[in-house]
A and B are shown apart, each in its own frame.
Chain A
């Protein structure tokens, strides 16, 4: 295709992506080094019979006009990145010096909002992703072995957790695990503790969110593996059988190697999606016990005072995280491409 034709075909998409994905990234970077203007303080002198007193007050009008004239705020460099709500360099250094051991240090770090969110995001991403792959594979193998009449309805039911709006899906589960809901009261009976609440404890909240994540994403891995299983070479499987391979050996030496490229694909997609975990925390109302990077940004943006600069700094840090996460994939793709 000629360059010129290509250009016209690609123009609308590139324009949309440039304006609404590339520029916002630039915009967050700029915002993250600016902070809102400080209030303009004026000194006024009040004189009465006892003499003159100086007092300071906020000049609302001047503050407002300054903010209107320059909405971006004042340039502060990397101050926002290093403050307590983000990388908290000073606090980390203090904790390092004052802490008695690794455990104490970790506990202190986990009190800092950014590190708390970061820890949960990483845990979620790296626990949910492998579990999704394993569960999806098991379901795919099981579905593949049932009579084909039953496969349609089975796939239908299996797709539901994935197709559902994440916020809605987490709400549905949230209501069920409520201490008055069916799963919640069942667990209370199991544990023999009528006051047990999944929402009140941090470890249980994490477990709950991870269970939700696996429930939500397993169908994706299942469908991809199921389609992959349809293309397993029958000849190889049969010759393995003739050679006396057991069912387990067939899976181990024929099916799994065949599905390996699909695993890479699922892992990549899952890493990207799980790293932005956000809706379940809103749905489960879990922010007291677990926050993610995305939730942290959402929290800054919402509410009465929109903390745009703070959100922007977290966004930049998140984007750096995504970039690190993707680097191995990109390097591999580039190698494959330059080899061609």
Chain B
């Protein structure tokens, strides 16, 4: 590739660099700006008079005596009990990832090893289900859930998210299992294992890279979901994202916006860490479906 690069004219090079820098600013600047602003008071975060106040915190200094304040975080996490939502999110995410992966690995393995037509049709059905807007499904749940008294509870949201997650998980894991040579489990079966034993003793030890990647995406889906959790969970059981939405709904009294800003930053932080550590897996996961078709 370096040869190709050398042949480019300086003008083209400058253009490419400036385009890339512009893109990076667009992509990342909002996050750093909001992170910085979350330690200010509302008057600085929304500074009508002079935008540099948001950087230096003039009003924050005047109101709290320091250039930074943790008031937004204190208000959100303690006063508004955001910690409760954080715990709910943790429960939902862990449960969704575990159950999705258990169901998904079993089915994905079977789909990758079956040569019958119905395996193909199952994957196509999953693709169609993948396209369903989540909110249309939610409107199908509400009445039965009210009637059977399932509405508002965490387990309900978990199982719904698992189901919504399945089509995607299936596609991804099937493509990963197809990359594990068939000879591996077939030779185990020749040695007298049943299909399930072959799966347990031969496939499970080598499947982890694919499972971890798929798990990351299930995690993102459960963590980022708004449509399902906002409709299905009662107020006490709310996870973080619908909780932030309800901050916005309450009248915009002074300070309340900063609660929302602080909690937005709190929700973003784990995602940052996730991308930092698992960048390689995320990139490989996004392309797994594409490159292999």
Contact = CB atoms under 8 A, between A and B. Distances in A.
Interface stretch (B43-51, B58-66, B67-75): B43-51
A228 B284 CA distance: 11
Q: How would you classify the secondary structure of chain A's contact residues: helix, strand, loop or mixed?
A: helix
Given A155-B279, A272-B130, A27 B140 contact: yes
B245 A146 contact: no
A248 B17 CA distance: 17
- Contact residue range for chain B? 35 or more
Interface string B272-292: 101110010011101101110
Interface in A152-199: 152, 154-161, 163-168, 171-173, 175-176, 178-182, 185-186
Interface stretch (A75-83, A109-117, A201-209, A215-223): A215-223
A10 B132 CA distance: 21
B160 A298 contact: no
Contacts of B133: 275-276, 278, 293-294, 297, 318, 322
Contacts of A14: 107, 122
Given A9-B109, A172-B31, A159 B279 contact: yes
Nearest to A152: B279
Contacts of B51: 182, 185-186
Centre residue among B7, B27, B106, B115 by max chain A CB count within 10 A: B27
Given A182-B33, A272-B130, 19 more contacts: A3-B116, A17-B125, A21-B164, A24-B141, A31-B140, A142-B19, A154-B24, A158-B23, A158-B24, A160-B31, A165-B224, A172-B30, A181-B46, A247-B8, A265-B290, A275-B131, A278-B226, A279-B226, A297-B136
The 4 closest A-B pairs by CB, nearest first: A24-B140, A20-B163, A9-B110, A276-B133
Interface of B: 1, 3-5, 7-8, 12, 16-17, 19-20, 23-24, 26-28, 30-31, 33-34, 37, 45-48, 51, 54, 102-104, 106-107, 109-111, 113-116, 119-120, 122, 124-144, 146-147, 159-160, 162-164, 166-167, 170, 195-196, 199, 220, 223-224, 226-227, 230-231, 241, 244-245, 248, 260-261, 264, 267-268, 271-272, 274-276, 279, 282-284, 286-287, 289-291, 293
12 contacts: A6-B114, A17-B163, A142-B19, A154-B24, A160-B28, A168-B264, A185-B51, A224-B286, A227-B283, A262-B290, A272-B130, A315-B140
